[in-house]
Amino acid sequence: MTGFDLTILLGGVVAGAAPILLATLGETITEKAGIINLSLDGTIMLSAMTAFVVAFNTESLIAGFVSAAVVGALVAAVVGIFSIYLEQSQVAVGFVLTLMARDLAYFLGNPYTRVPGPSVGPQPIPFLKDIPFLGEVFFNHSLPVYLSLLLIGLIWWYMYRTPQGLRLRSVGENPGACFARGINPRSLQMIYVLCGGFFVGLAGATFSLCTKPGWGRPQGAEGTGWIALALVIFGGWHPIRAAIGAYLFAFLQVMGIYFQEWFPSVPAQVFQVAPFPLMIFTLVFINFAQKESVIKHAEGRVWLKVVLRLFSGAMPTALGKPHKTGQ
Amino acid sequence: MRIELRDMHKHYGSIKANNGINLTVEEGTIHGILGENGAGKSTLMKVLAGYIPKTGGEIIIDDKIQDYHTPADASRRGIGMLYQEPLDYPPLTVLENFMIGQAGGVSNKTLRFREKLEDLIRHFNFTIDPDVRVKQLTVGERQQLEMLRLLSLGIEVLILDEPTTGISDLQKEALFNSLRRLASEGKSVILVSHKLKDSEALCDRVTVLREGEVTGSMEKPYDANELLSMMFGEPPLPSTRSPVEYGGTVLSMKNISGLGERTGLSRCTIDVREGEMIGLAGLEGSGQGVFLRIAAGITKPTDGSLSFFGEDMSGKNLHAFKKAGVVFLPASRLEEGLMPDLSIQEHFALKEGGSSFFVKWDEARSESREKTEKFRVKGTPDTIAEALSGGNQQRLMLSLLSKESTLLLLEQPTRGLDVESTNWVWWHLSKYCLRKTAVIFSSTDLDEIMSIADRILVFFDGTIIKDVKRDKTDTKELAKAIAGKV
C-alpha cells in the first residue's frame, strides 16, 4: 500500500484540476452573458489536438497554447454567429459542433497518435515554494496551473468589481434592457462567447501539453467538456464557486485512486463514477436552498444562512434567449 | 425642449400601427397621449425613444430635424422612456441597475454612483435602498429607480408608458407629484395612458389616438364625454349590477397563514358565500396574491384550516380544488394563465383533457369559433395567445372557464385593460354571481373595488385589517385602512 500524503494529494488536485477549471471558467463567462456554448467537449478535443500538433511541428509550446486558444475562440464564434446573429437554437448548434469538432480532432490528429512530443515542465516559484505545506500544494506546478489559479480571482474581480463586468452580467439578465441603455447586446455577447471559447481552448492545450501530454485516441480528455458544463451549474454561475466545484471533482477523482487501493474488493468503476451522483445531489440541494420556506426557516439562524448562501446561485435570466431585434 | 412629430408612420406589414400622426409637445408641460389598447400609443413613443425604427415621418427637436436609430442616440438628444414592461435587471441591486449603461471602463466606480443615486433619491423624497435587489422592489419603486436613472443621464423629455398600471394610489400620488416637479423645472413629460382619470389629473394637454391616427386633442379643463368619444367613437356604458341573493357558504378559512410575496399571509379567517362579489384592496403585495393562491390550492398554507362547502381541504392537492369548482385567473396572463405559443384552438383542445387518444380538432375548432365570437376575442382559432392584446387575452381566459365554477379567484382582472374591456369583464363576471358563483378579485384601483364589490377586504402587511360591506364604508375609510390605520 502506498503512503497517504495530504500535501502530495492536494498538490495533485490543484495540478489535475487545471484544464477542467479553465474550461469551467470559460463557460461561466459565456453563460453569464446569456449564451450556452454546448460545443465544449468537442472544442477541448480539437484544441488539445491543435496544441499538440502545433507545438510538435514548431517546437514552440507558446505557439501550441496560442493556436489552441484561437481554435477554441473560432468554434465559439460559430456558436455565437448562429445563435446571436442568426437567432438559431444554441442547443442544436452546440450539439452538432461538439460531435463535429471531436471527430475532426481524431481525423486530423491521427498521424500524431502516440508520438512523443513536447510538454510543459514544472516551474516552482522561488521562495514561495519553500513555504511549508502551501508551497508544495500551490507553488510547485507548471505555468498553465498557475494561470488557472490566477484566473479564478481575476474573473471574479472583473465580473463583480468592474463596470465592464456589470455589463457582462446585465446582458445575461435582460438584453432588451441593455439595448434601451445604449449597450449593443449582440456584440457584447459575441465578445464574451469568444472570450469563453478562448479559455476553453487553453483548457485543451493544458491537457495535451501538460496534464496528459501527447495525443491519441482516446486522449483522456474525453467527457471533460460535459463535466465543465455541469460544473457551471453546480457553481451557480459564480466563478469562485465553479472553481470550488472543479477542485472538488478533481479531489474525488484522485481519491478514487486511493480508495481503489484501500478497498480492493469494490469494483474500480464505483469510484470512477462516484463524483457524478454526488454532483446531482448538490444540484438538488441548490434547488432546495432557493425554496422560500427554506429561506424563511433560515432567518435568524446564522449558520444556516451561511450554508444557504454558499448554495444559492441563480441562472442568468436570459440564458439561451438571445436579443431579438426588428419589430 | 420642444418636440414635434410630423406625419409619423409605423407599419408592420399591412398593419398600420401609426398612420400619419402629428404631435407637438411644448417645453415644461405634461402632455397626455390617450387611447384604448392597441391605438398605437406605445408604438409611437417607442419610435420617439429610438427603441424601434420608424417607417416614415420626421422627428423635430427644437426646430431641427433629427434622425436617430437607437435608444442611446435618443437619450443623447435628451429623450428617455420608461417602458410599460420595466426594462431592468431584477436579480441585480438597485445601485447596479442605476449604473448599467452609465459606467464604463474597468475601475470600480461604485462609490461615485452611490453618491449620485443617493442625492437623487433625497431630491425626490423617495425611499429606495441602493443595496437591495430590484426584484424586492414594488412596481412603483422600480419606476422611481428607472426615472432617477434617466434623469441622471440628463434627460429633458421623459416618456412614461402606462406608469399607473399595477401601482397603489399612494405610489401614484408620489409619482404624479414628482412629474409635476419635473415639469416645473422645465422638463417635458409625456404620459401614455388609457386611463382618463390619470390624464385628467395630471396633464396640461391631451392628444387622443385611435387606430393609429390622432382623433383630437384638448387642453385643460377637460370634457370627459368628449374625450371618451374621441377614444371610442362613442362612449361605452358604465357597468351596472343588480343585487344578488347570497346562498350558503362556499369557502371557509380559519387562521390561515402562508408564505409568498413580501409579507406572506398571517392568521386569516373569513367565510365566503354563494353569489358574493368580494374585492381585495391594499397596497400591491400585501398578501392578496397569497390569499388567492391559497384559496386556489396552488400555495399550501403553513397553518390553519380551509374548507369548501364544509369539506376540509387540508392536505388535498390542486386537483381536488379544481373538482370543487375553484378557478384562479392570475394577473400575469401570459406567464401563468395561458400558453403563449399555443393557438386559441389549441387552448380549447387542451381544456377538453385527455379522454381520447386523438385530439378532436373539429370540436375544438367549432368551440373556439363559437366562444371567440361570444366573448368578442379579436382573433381566429389559429391566432396564438401571445399575439392577442391584453384585453383579448383576458377575454380568452374567461372564455375557457367552465360555467359550473363555484368560486372564481381573479388577480387584478382588469390590469392594463381599457375602459371598454374593463366594463365587459365586469359585466361578464356579474353574470357568474347571478348563478350563485362567488367571485373574489384583487385590484389596485380603489374606485373600481368600490363600484364593483359587495364586500371589501383590506389587506395590510399580510393580514386582513378590514372586512366590510360596500354600503357600510367609504373611500376615505378604506384608504386609511390600506395605509394601515383602522
User: Is the four-CA dihedral B464, B469, B470, B473 of positive or negative sign?
Assistant: negative
Residue A33 lies in a domain: yes
Give B434→chain A minimum CA distance, Å: 39
With beta carbons under 8 A apart, name residues in chain A contacting B77.
Answer: none
Residue ranges of B 47-86 with Cβ closer than 8 A to chain A: 49, 51-52, 70-72, 75, 81, 83
Share of chain A above pLDDT 90, in %: 45
Residues of A in Cβ contact (< 8 Å) with B89: 169-170, 173-174, 177, 317
Cα–Cα distance for residue pair A244/A314, rounded to 1 Å: 17
From B310, B325, B318, select the one nearest B254 (Cα to Cα).
B310
ipTM attached to this prediction: 0.81
Best residue of B89, B159, B386 to probe chain A, by most A CBs closer than 10 Å = B89
H-state helical runs in A263-274? 268-273
| Mean pLDDT, residues A93-109 taken together | 93
Residue contact B88–A158, C-beta within 8 A? no
Residues from chain B contacting residue A187 (CB–CB below 8 Å): none
Nine cell digits for residue A48: 488539445
Specify the number of domains making up chain A.
2
B104 touches chain A (CB under 8 A): yes
- A48, A55 in Cβ contact below 8 A? no
- In B, which residues are within 8 Å of A179 by CB distance? 51, 70-71
Residue found under cell 367565510: B271
Which residue from B minimizes the CA distance to A295? Answer: B259
How far apart are the C-alpha atoms of B421 and B287, rounded to whole Å? 27
Question: Is residue A82 located within the same domain as residue A185?
Answer: yes
Distance CA B144, CA B146 (A): 6
Contacts with B12 from chain A: Cβ below 8 Å: 327
**Residue A321 placed within a domain:** no
- Do B260 and A162 make contact, defined as CB atoms within 8 angstroms? no
**A182/B72 touch (CB, cutoff 8 Å), yes or no:** yes
User: A-chain residues within 8 Å CB-CB of B260?
Assistant: 292
Do A160 and A261 lie in one domain? The reply is yes
Find the angle CA(B416)-CA(B465)-CA(B125) to the nearest 5 degrees: 60
Q: Cβ contacts (< 8 Å) between A293 and chain B: which residues?
A: 259, 302
CB contact under 8 Å between A181 and B72, yes or no, is yes
User: How far is the alpha carbon of B171 from chain A, nearest alpha carbon, in Å?
Assistant: 24
For chains A and B, count residue pairs whose Cβ atoms are closer than 8 Å: 77
Residue of A nearest to B260 (CA): A292
Tell me, yes or no, whether A287 and A224 share the same domain. Answer: no
Nearest partner of B419 among B177, B208, B151, B144, judged by Cα: B208
- Interface contact A181-B100, CB threshold 8 A: yes
Is A30 within a domain? yes
Q: Is A160 found in the same domain as A45? A: yes
Q: Is B270 on the interface with A (CB under 8 A)?
A: no
Q: State the nearest Cα–Cα gap between B87 and chain A, in angstroms.
A: 5
How far is it, in rounded angstroms, from Cα A101 to Cα A43? 6
State the alpha helices, DSSP H only, in A2-142: 6-16, 18-32, 40-58, 61-80, 90-109, 134-138
pLDDT tens track of chain B, all 486 residues? 889 999 999 988 777 888 889 999 998 999 999 887 778 888 999 999 999 998 999 999 998 888 888 898 898 899 999 988 888 998 899 999 999 988 777 777 888 899 999 999 998 888 899 999 998 888 888 888 999 999 998 889 999 998 887 777 788 888 999 999 999 999 999 999 877 888 888 899 999 998 888 988 888 888 888 887 787 776 555 555 566 778 888 899 999 998 877 778 888 899 999 889 999 998 777 889 999 999 998 888 888 888 888 888 877 888 888 888 898 988 888 777 888 888 888 888 887 766 677 888 888 888 888 888 888 888 888 888 888 877 788 888 888 887 778 899 999 888 877 777 888 888 888 888 888 889 999 988 888 888 888 899 999 888 899 999 988 888 888 878 887 777
Residue B251's closest CA among B471, B481, B409, B372?
Answer: B409
C-alpha cell at B110: 461604485
- Smallest CA–CA distance, residue B207 to chain A, in Å, is 25
Residues A259 and A280 in one domain: no
Q: Which of A155, A162, A290, A323 to mutate to test the interface with B (most CBs of B within 10 A)?
A: A162
When computed from its CA atoms, the radius of gyration of chain B, rounded to whole angstroms, is: 24
Contact A293 B302 (CB under 8 A): yes
Report the candidate in B371, B412, B364 with the shortest Cα–Cα distance to residue B390.
B412
Q: Please check whether residues A157 and A224 belong to one and the same domain.
A: yes
Query: What is the CB neighbour count within 10 angstroms for residue B137?
Result: 21
Task: Give all strands of the β-sheet with B30-34 in edge-to-edge order.
Answer: B79-82, B157-161, B188-193, B30-34, B205-210, B213-219
Quickly state the pLDDT bin for A158 (edges 50, 70, 90). very high
Q: Which residues of A touch B81 (CB under 8 A)?
A: 180
Query: What is the nearest CA distance from A296 to chain B, expressed in angstroms?
Result: 9
CB nearest to B87's CB, from A177, A292, A296: A177
Is the pLDDT assigned to residue A156 strictly greater than 70?
yes
B101 interface with A at CB cutoff 8 Å? yes
Q: Which residues of B touch A327 (CB under 8 A)?
A: 12, 52
Q: CA A235 to CA B312: how far, in whole Å?
A: 44
Chain A residues in contact with chain B using a Cβ-Cβ cutoff of 8 Å = 158, 161-164, 166-167, 169-170, 173-174, 176-183, 292-293, 296, 314, 317, 327
Cβ burial B7-39 (10 Å sphere, 16+ → b, else e): ebbbeeeeebbbbebebebeeebbbbbbbbbbb
Residue at a domain's end among A233, A267, A301: A267
Q: Does B259 touch chain A (CB under 8 A)?
A: yes
How deeply is A109 buried, as exposed, middle or buried, from its count of CB atoms within 10 A (0-12, 13-18, 19+)?
A: buried
Helix (H, G, I), strand (E, B) or coil at A302: helix
The domain covering B3-232 belongs, at the CATH homologous superfamily level, to P-loop containing nucleotide triphosphate hydrolases (3.40.50.300)
Close Cβ partners of A322 (under 8 Å, ≥ 6 residues apart)? A34, A35, A83, A84, A87, A90, A175, A185, A186, A189
Q: Is B365 on the interface with A (CB under 8 A)?
A: no
Decide which of 3.40.605.10, 3.90.1150.10, 3.40.50.300, 3.20.20.10 is the CATH code for B236-325+402-486: 3.40.50.300
Chain B residues with CB under 8 Å of A167 CB are 100
Q: Give, in order, the Cα–Cα distances in Å from B468 to each of A38, B339, B439.
A: 58, 37, 16
DSSP designation for A113: T
Range of the domain at A283: 274-313
User: Residue B234's pLDDT is what?
Assistant: 61
- Selection from A5, A27, A8, A11 nearest residue A227 by Cα: A27
Burial class from Cβ neighbours inside 10 Å (0-12, 13-18, 19+) for residue A300 reads exposed
Contacts of B383 (CB under 8 A, 6+ apart): B343, B344
**Is A130 strand, coil or helix?**
helix
Across the interface, of B100, B101, B106, the residue whose CB is closest to A162 is: B106
Q: Which residues contact A269 (CB under 8 A, 6 or more apart)?
A: none
Give the residue on A whose Cα is nearest the Cα of B12.
A327
| Inter-chain touch A182–B88, beta carbons under 8 Å | no
pLDDT tens per residue, range A276-304 = 787 778 777 777 777 767 777 777 777 87
Of B99, B101, B107, the CB nearest to A182: B101
* Closest in A162, A170, A317 to B100, CB measured: A170
Look at A188-202, A242-256, A285-299, B388-402 and tell me which has the smallest mean pLDDT. Answer: A285-299
SS3 string, chain B, reads: CCEEEEEEEEEECCEEEEEEEEEEECCCCEEEEECCCCCCHHHHHHHHCCCCCCCEEEEEECCEEECCCCHHHHHHCCEEEECCCCCCCCCCEHHHHHHCCCCCCCCCCHHHHHHHHHHHHHHCCCCCCCCCEHHHCCHHHHHHHHHHHHHHCCCCEEEEECCCCCCCHHHHHHHHHHHHHHHHCCCEEEEEECCHHHHHHHCCEEEEEECCEEEEEEECCCCHHHHHHHHHCCCCCCCCCCCCCCCCEEEEEEEEEECCCCCCEEEEEEEEECCCEEEEECCCCCCHHHHHHHHCCCCCCCEEEEEECCEECCCCCHHHHHHCCEEEECCCHHHHHCCCCCEHHHHHHHHCCCCCCCCCHHHHHHHHHHHHHHCCCCCCCCCEHHHCCHHHHHHHHHHCCCCCCCEEEEECCCCCCCHHHHHHHHHHHHHHHHCCCEEEEECCCHHHHHHHCCEEEEEECCEEEEEEEHHHCCHHHHHHHHCCCC
Strand (E) or helix (H) holding A244: helix A239-262
**Could you tell me whether strands B303-308 and B249-258 are parallel, antiparallel, or unpaired per DSSP bridges?**
antiparallel
Shortest CB distance from B259 goes to which of A161, A167, A296? A296
The pLDDT score that the predictor gives to residue A1 is 44
What is the C-alpha to C-alpha distance for residues B364 and B379, in angstroms, rounded to an integer? Answer: 15
**Residue A178: which CATH number?**
1.10.3470
A158: chain B residues, CB-CB within 8 Å: 106
- Residue A318 covered by a domain: no
Grid coordinates representing B322?
379544481
Strand-pair category, B326-329 with B407-411: parallel
* Residue B44, number of CB atoms within 10 A of its CB: 29
Instruction: Please give the C-alpha separations between residue B389 and each of B84, B204, B377, B395, B420, in angstroms, as whole numbers.
Output: 14, 29, 10, 10, 13
How far is residue A197's CA from residue A30's CA, in Å, rounded to a whole number? 8
Sheet with B249-258, strands from edge to edge, namely B265-273, B249-258, B303-308, B311-312
The shortest C-alpha distance from B146 to chain A (Å) reads 11
Decide: A46 and A247 in contact? Cβ < 8 Å: no
Least Cα distance to B278 among B405, B33, B443 occurs for B443
Q: B100 at the A interface (CB within 8 A)? A: yes
Nearest CA in chain B to A165: B106
Is A168 a residue whose pLDDT tops 90?
Answer: yes
Domain B3-232 matches domain B236-325+402-486 at the CATH topology level: yes
Residue B433: C-alpha distances to residues B281, B394, B413, B419, B426 (Å): 20, 18, 16, 21, 11
Domain extent listing, chain B: 3-232, 236-325+402-486, 339-401
Residue A257 in any domain: the answer is yes
Question: Backbone dihedral region of B101: left (phi > 0), alpha (psi from -120 to 50 degrees) or beta?
Answer: left
- Asked whether residue A69 falls in the same domain as residue A93, the answer is yes
Residues 6+ apart with CB under 8 A from A264: none
Please name the amino acid found at residue B270: I
Q: Choose from A154, A156, A171, A181 for mutation: most chain B CBs within 10 A.
A: A181
Evaluate whether B412 touches B384 at the Cβ level (below 8 Å).
no
CB under 8 Å to B92, separation ≥6 — which residues?
A166, A169, A170, A173, B100, B133, B134
A248 in the same domain as A182: yes
The grid coordinates of residue A269 equal: 468503476
C-alpha cell at B470: 360596500
Cell numbers given for A156: 471574479
